[in-house]
């Protein structure tokens, strides 16, 4: 079983659009959306939810009023002002556990907090895991790890050949959780002013984790000078460019219709994406 992750330096580069196309082009795989802070792959895959479960990534304090002597030590100690009238405000509580440690009556316990929901769904392209993080929850890295664990288990059970991951953008904790242990990372980059910088940052990350990396330049023709610069950087860093996709408004139309480009059109952009998938698959198999 191989794991491919599609990543980018920032959101909105076409990463999810391409992942959806790869889902349509590949066989015998599990798909997962690890871009948990902006999960939108489900919009293109039209999932039927088969199972959902709570994600409990953090802790929240709870006072037992039966045991509390109202000494006020916890109120003084809480740096987040989360204890008001001897009740914990779950939104303000950061789960640090200081109040539990200091309470002389052992009246405070830490409980699991529900930070989001993980969904296993069925799509016409295969099983698909995605998640919804609750507002204000900051555990996206842990949630990505949880989704990937579930996807791996499912792939093992089904003897799938591939796990296709829509990774988190950037270089923070969720993207590290998205790429760790994968067999190949595809960086999707657009030829914009920040594109060069984004490429260097994210390629530095995959290099650090020793993950074989490929690059795809999306909308390469909106600025061919920067596209050429990006190709030069890739050549210098020995990162293969597996394809360049021209700008085509049909891609946006497909998104609006909630379809993958593969099923929506027969314009040349479809063939470009098919070729990119073929190149990726050859690299993965080779
Ligand atoms: S420290 Fe413990 S006993 Fe004191 S007010 Fe807080 S919960 Fe009550
Ligand atoms: S766990 Fe930390 S943040 Fe939460 S109420 Fe206790 S001291 Fe405050």
Beta bridge partners of residue 42, listed in sequence order? none
Residue pair 6/188 in contact (Cβ under 8 Å)? The answer is yes
Count the Cβ atoms, other than its own, within 10 Å of residue 63.
19
What is the spatial distance between Cα 4 and Cα 284, in angstroms, rounded to a whole number?
9
Among protein residues, the one whose CA lies closest to atom 6 of ligand 1: 74
Q: Which ligand is nearest to the CA of 78?
A: 2
Fold type of domain 2-56+115-285: Rossmann fold (3.40.50)
Please state the atom number of ligand 1 nearest to the C-alpha of residue 73: 1
Pocket test for ligand 1, best of 64, 65, 71 (most atoms within 8 A of CB): 71
For residues 139 and 263, the model is more confident at 263
What long-range pairs does 253-257 form, CB within 8 A, spacing at least 24?
254/17, 255/17, 255/43, 255/44
**Which pLDDT score, from 0 to 100, does residue 3 have?**
97
Q: Is the CB of 143 under 6 A from ligand 2?
A: no
Please state the atom number of ligand 2 nearest to the C-alpha of residue 108: 6
Q: Is the pLDDT of residue 240 over 80?
A: yes
Listed in order, strand segments (DSSP E) in 67-138 are: 83-84, 87-88, 108-113, 116-123, 126-133
- Ligand 1 mean position to 63 CA, how many Å? 8
Q: Give residue-wise pLDDT tens across range 249-263.
A: 999 999 999 999 999
What is the spatial distance between Cα 253 and Cα 192, in angstroms, rounded to a whole number?
22
What is the spatial distance between Cα 38 and Cα 222, in angstroms, rounded to a whole number?
25
Among protein residues, the one whose CA lies closest to atom 4 of ligand 1: 71
Count the Cβ atoms, other than its own, within 10 Å of residue 104.
9
**Which pLDDT score, from 0 to 100, does residue 139 have?**
75
Q: What is the residue extent of each domain of the chain?
A: 2-56+115-285, 58-113
Q: Which of 93-97, 148-152, 195-199, 218-222 has the lowest mean pLDDT?
A: 195-199
User: Tokens 């994210």 — which residue?
Assistant: 202
**Phi, psi at residue 218, to the nearest 5°?**
-90, 140
For 20-28, what is the mean pLDDT?
A: 95
* b (16+ CB within 10 A) / e for 174-205: bbbbbbeebebbbbbbbbbeebbebbeebbeb
Q: How confident is the model at residue 37 (pLDDT cuts 50, 70, 90)?
A: confident
Q: Which ligand is nearest to the CA of 79?
A: 2
Could you tell me the pTM of the whole model?
Answer: 0.89
- Helix H or strand E segment including 149: helix 140-157
Q: Two tokens at 220?
A: 């390469």
- For domain 58-113, the question of CATH label 3.40.190.290 is answered with no
Please state the atom number of ligand 1 nearest to the C-alpha of residue 77: 1
Q: List Cα–Cα distances, 251 to 97, 104, 110, 123, in angstroms.
A: 49, 62, 48, 21
**Which pLDDT score, from 0 to 100, does residue 254 have?**
94
**Which pLDDT score, from 0 to 100, does residue 133 have?**
87
């Amino acid at each position: 079983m191989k794991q491919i992750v599609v990543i980018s330096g920032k959101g909105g580069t076409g990463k999810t659009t391409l992942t959806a196309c790869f889902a349509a082009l590949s066989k015998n795989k599990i798909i997962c959306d690890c871009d948990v802070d902006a999960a939108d792959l489900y919009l293109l895959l039209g999932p039927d939810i088969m199972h959902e479960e709570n994600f409990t990534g953090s802790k929240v304090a709870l006072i037992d009023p039966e045991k509390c002597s109202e000494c006020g030590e916890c109120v003084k100690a809480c740096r987040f002002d989360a204890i008001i009238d001897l009740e914990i405000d779950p939104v303000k509580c950061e789960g640090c556990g200081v109040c539990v440690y200091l309470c002389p009556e052992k009246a405070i316990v830490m409980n699991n907090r529900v930070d989001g929901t993980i969904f296993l769904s069925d799509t016409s392209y295969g099983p698909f895991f995605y998640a919804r993080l609750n507002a204000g929850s900051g555990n996206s890295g842990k949630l990505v790890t949880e989704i990937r664990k579930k996807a791996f288990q499912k792939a093992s059970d089904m003897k799938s050949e591939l796990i296709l991951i829509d990774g988190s953008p950037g270089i923070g904790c969720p993207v590290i959780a998205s790429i760790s242990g994968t067999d190949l990372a595809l960086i999707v980059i657009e030829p914009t002013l920040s594109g060069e910088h984004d490429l260097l940052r994210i390629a530095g990350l995959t290099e650090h984790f020793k993950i074989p990396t490929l690059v795809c330049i999306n909308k390469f023709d909106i600025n061919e000078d920067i596209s050429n610069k990006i190709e030069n950087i890739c050549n210098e860093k020995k990162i293969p460019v597996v394809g360049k996709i021209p700008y085509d408004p049909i891609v946006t139309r497909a998104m609006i219709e909630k379809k993958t480009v593969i099923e929506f059109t027969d314009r040349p952009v479809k063939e470009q994406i098919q070729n990119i998938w073929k190149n990726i698959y050859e690299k993965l198999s080779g």
